[in-house]
Amino acid sequence: MYEDIKVGDKLQIHCYKHDGTIDRISGEATVLDITPDVLVCANNKVKLTENDGRTHRTKETAILFFYKNEWFNILAQLKKYGLFYYCNIASPFVIDGKIIKYIDYDLDLRVFPNGSFKILDRLEYKYHKKQMHYSSRLDFILKYELGNLIEKVRVREVPFDQETVNKYYQKYLELKDNKKN
């Protein structure tokens, strides 16, 4: 799955909807770590292109955790006023050339620096579930994975800890410095 990917590589990220339409394209993310279960990347002030053609840039550095066997991905956002997480309920990722691809299923979890969290986009999920005919099995998996994700937040399981994010942030800075030299 990762044969052609190595630490330091730059990958694009393509987010799709269940019906196969592209939802968002994210500019480069630098690969920081590759394990059998997780691909860790980072980006900073990256350009995002939405499905309607609008573009904007993220405001901060993010450490991105993509899972091979979990139905979510996690963005640790290093903001001026603390470490936030934005978690997408999404299909496990695949690599296609130099592109990370996954299907976004609308439900999101926002985690705040104090550990509190909020579930986002329930109405969007309900709408797309009906419009795109999510099966009852898929609906069960997505809701189960949301619960699984919430439990990981509650017990501060990796990557919901400052130490893990700091380690990857330092690695990202080192890779950037090495590119300059």
Task: Choose, from 24, 57, 137, 156, the residue flagged as catalytic.
Answer: 24
Contact, 132 vs 18, CB < 8 A?
Answer: yes
Side chain identity at 156, as an amino acid letter? R
The verdict on whether 137 is a catalytic residue reads no
Q: What is the DSSP string of 32-89?
A: EEE-SSEEEEEEES-EEEETTS-EEE-SSEEEEEEESSSSEEEEEEEETTEEEEEEEE
Q: What is the DSSP string of 6-31?
A: -TT-EEEEEEE-TTS-EEEEEEEEEE
Which residues are known to be catalytic?
A: 24
